[in-house]
Structure 1
């Protein structure tokens, strides 16, 4: 554990092009303390871990190396309130939100740069709608699971989404339990 945390602190420090001296000054500790953290000879206490995470704008889970098993999720909906609600429920239930989009083309561009495990995808959106977007995702990114999240409750639409490869379908307005259940099913 010490070595993982130390390696992460080292990587974050280097990504900011900082010296050990500069990080020590920012954190209010000695250069020796930073050196010991980075070599794995000691680990920062919990308050210092939180301060380091805040300074580098990462989660404490990421700093501790606990993000490997978290599902990386992208939320796609044209309504910002829905995106924010979904992101909150997903984050509180162990998912890592790696992006959000308001329509299909924006998602497809994002997928060229980011590796997602799961996408929550609305059906009715301006620009490229969810069904067309689902087709592209299933064609080009078969390993990504897609859960459709829409106010459309028409059985034919739901069946079409499943036939295209959707892993699940949650209707709006949704309850947080429905979202959690859909995540756990895949």
Structure 2
């Protein structure tokens, strides 16, 4: 859940700074004065859909409402938060550590997640768009059906470990140097993205992965089951399979195939 003590202090401070009564704030947000009173006393928290209105009204980010501020903000760990179906926009979540968080159906866009760590989260159908992900670490989380779209370049590697990406979509992303370790990629779709110099480790056989228009230059795929994989219309200069250059394999195949035709 949201950190009630911090939120109740934050909302009350913002209201008093603007010399507003609880009734006036409630009128602006379309809620009762009693609802505002309950927020400020910690008896309840606003519906997640009201947070963007509060953020806009007080010209502050949603994450400052959720997490507060202060010099120790970046080092705090948040436990058991429920952000299901939340829409987080233009927020600074740098350095935040989240554990046992529920973010099913949430949308995070135009925000900074660099250095953020999320572990043991429920993030089915999560949508990530237009984000700064430098140094993001995400582990032991359920992300089946997630959509990761239009993520720009980064200088600090991104790390995904022990995550469930079943039937997720990675679209138009720069994931150079990303680490995908022991993740369930069953039915994953990757479109128009770069995975240059990345590590893609998947220990078991799952449903087919669909990869289209992706830059895998200098990537490493190891300990994987590639049986039945079809590579078509791709640039394969320097590609090796078990240490053998593919150019040599093709040349050997052409030579054997040509010899058979000559014998017929």
TM-score (norm 1): 0.40
Between structures 1 and 2, the one with greater strand share: 2
> Which structure is larger by alpha-carbon Rg, 1 or 2?
2
TM-score (norm 2): 0.29
